[in-house]
Amino acid sequence: MPLELDIYGIYMPGLFGLMLAAYALLRAVQRVAERAGLYALVWHRPLFDLALYVLILGAVSSFASKVLG
């Protein structure tokens, strides 16, 4: 995906925007998981959060590549 973002004259790779979207989704999922008590079942929360972020980033990237063509 050769997309570039122009932020006040500074060009950023397209993956940067996808990473921000994935982080926003991760924070929402974390809040839901915390309220539901799902973190009580997790052995290592930071490792779980990292794996969840990678999964969400992959899903966002896949979705963006299908939508943007």
Q: What pLDDT is attached to residue 43?
A: 93
CB 14 within 8 A of CB 4: yes
Q: What pLDDT is attached to residue 68?
A: 78
Residue type, 5: L
Range scoring the smallest mean pLDDT among 8-12, 23-27, 51-55, 57-61? 8-12
Span 15-39, average pLDDT: 95
Q: What pLDDT is attached to residue 28?
A: 98
pLDDT above 70: residue 2: no
Cα–Cα distances in angstroms (integers) from residue 53 to residues 29, 40, 41, 48, in the given order: 10, 19, 18, 9
Q: What pLDDT is attached to residue 3?
A: 74
Extract the runs of DSSP E, i.e. beta strands, from 1-69. 4-7, 10-13
pTM: 0.84
